[in-house]
Amino acid sequence: MNTRVLTGITTSGTPHLGNYAGAIRPAIQASRQPGVDAFFFLADYHALIKTTEDPARVARSRLEIAATWLAAGLDPEKVTFYRQSDIPEIPELCWLLTCVTPKGLMNRAHAYKASVDQNTAKGVDPDDGISMGLFSYPVLMAADILLFNAHKVPVGRDQIQHLEMARDIAQRFNHIYGDDYFVLPEVVIAEEVATLPGLDGRKMSKSYNNTIPLFEGGAKALRSAVMRIVTDSRQPGEAKDAENSHLYTLYRAFASAPESASFRQALEQGMGWGDAKQALCDLLERDLSAMRERYVELMAAPGRIEDILMAGADKARKQAVPFIARLRDAVGLRRLGGATGDKPAAGGKKAAARAPRFVSFRDDNGSFRFRLLAPDGEELLCSIAYADPKEAGAVMRRLQTETALLRAEGMAYSIVLDDAPVAHGPAAADARARDVALDRAREALQALTRAG
């Protein structure tokens, strides 16, 4: 089985060079490994935790971040790339998890505690300015991860505690509801990944206002930032301390080993800082200029990005929808008068009439088919055509004894045995209606397997 790797990107800013080298580039490389099933998503619900006063900023950031990842080479055919807010099963699961999460666990979350500490230091109410969104942030993050049963979650160090909480919450749910519903996710901290210094030598970060832009502003903005990198006052001709210059650290993050070695040597032999900056610009342009062109094209065609993200959401929901149905069932959110696990009352025509049922028929071409009908008579599935009635009967019986896979297919759905669809559901008006129908079909089959 493939390793499922999942990570989220909070959409609350414009990507800079540090984001690229530290997160985007390694994640895209990892997604190309064989045996990896990558799920990358825009954590736009998380963005609302920090940004409620600037909806335009949130909207812009979603676009910029999506365009950046695509321009940087993310292949949406290989990776499942989607927006958190297009997956209604995430907030749905978030609530199920919220109800098994001890409040005390959330009280210990670093992000929340830091805000409380700041308030205490200021002498204001400890919870001043703290929303329930910030407080419950780790539960939403657990839902992101657990809904897709991710095995590995690459994140920054600041997220380690959130991963521990996700495991803790998953374990509680599994324990309470008595099955291994959730995989326990493992945190992955990439040690070898570059943490780039910013213009002033501190970690490159929006909050220090020391970033080098990645694509925004074009080659001109990139160059003007590079020219502002702080260096010491050694003149051309004087030997430079390459190891301790952040200009060299930046260079190394984009150069091959031999290129880095000769750059270092040139600095030690007295290359001027101006020339060194020019060399860094050339190096960055070599790596980034083709991507920047793609970025500009994508930013000019937001409809194309929207289509890619909607296709990604479809792909993600193929897994999320059946899984959430199972979880709803686990916690007792079940349809009334049907699949409660109780057998229908003995005897009595009435009970039989209220149960879901299979009916066989011959179609206009003389082939043999069967239908699965809901308790109210609605058609949930219609089989493919069989020339041999015994074969149709055998498939019908298997559906009553085995757990077959139901899967969405456009606005319809089908049921699969031995990798081939054996029956199809009717097409619905939209995805939500299809999912409701698909749930009903699943419940009907479960009721029949239990009764059989």
Contact call for residue 7 and ligand TRP (CB under 6 A): yes
Of 10, 66, 140, the closest CA to residue 303 belongs to 66
Strand partners, 38: 5
Total residues interacting with ligand TRP, rule: CB under 6 A: 12
User: Does residue number 174 form part of the binding site for ligand TRP (CB under 6 A)?
Assistant: no
Radius of gyration of the chain (CA): 28
96 binds ligand TRP (CB under 6 A): no
Nearer to ligand TRP by Cβ, of 137 and 358: the residue is 137
Angstrom distance (rounded) from CA 344 to CA 346: 6
Q: Checking DSSP bridges between strand 368-373 and strand 357-362, what pairing results, if any? A: antiparallel
10 binds ligand TRP (CB under 6 A): yes
The span of 6-14, 216-224, 304-312, 398-406 binding ligand TRP (CB under 6 A) equals 6-14
What's the rounded Cα separation, in Å, for the pair 262 and 245?
Answer: 15
Q: Which of 155, 373, 382, 417 is close enough to bind ligand TRP by CB under 6 A?
A: 155
Q: Does 136 bind ligand TRP (CB under 6 A)?
A: no
Q: If binding is defined by CB under 6 A, does position 447 make contact with ligand TRP?
A: no
> Pattern of binders to ligand TRP over 35-64, x per CB under 6 A?
--------x--x------------------
The span from the CA of 424 to the CA of 416, in Å, is 9
List alpha helices for 37-179, DSSP H. 44-50, 55-71, 89-98, 103-107, 110-122, 132-146, 160-177
Q: Find the part of the chain contacting ligand TRP (CB under 6 A) among 5-13, 53-61, 206-214, 427-435.
A: 5-13
Residues ≥6 apart with Cβ < 8 Å to 344: 351, 352, 354, 355, 451
By C-beta, is 52 or 401 nearer to ligand TRP?
Answer: 52
* Residue whose CB is less far from ligand TRP, 12 or 446: 12
Contact segment (CB under 6 A) with ligand TRP among 3-11, 99-107, 127-135, 314-322 equals 3-11
**CA neighbor of 9 nearest in space, from 34, 28, 32:** 28
The label of the residue with tokens 């055998």 reads 394
Is residue 245 a contact residue for ligand TRP (CB under 6 A)?
no
Give whichever of 116 and 155 is closer to ligand TRP, judged by the CB atom: 155
Tell me if 164 sits within 8 A of 106, measured CB to CB: no
Instruction: Give the three-state DSSP class for 42.
Output: strand
Residues that bind ligand TRP (CB under 6 A): 6-8, 10, 43, 46, 141, 144-145, 153, 155, 159
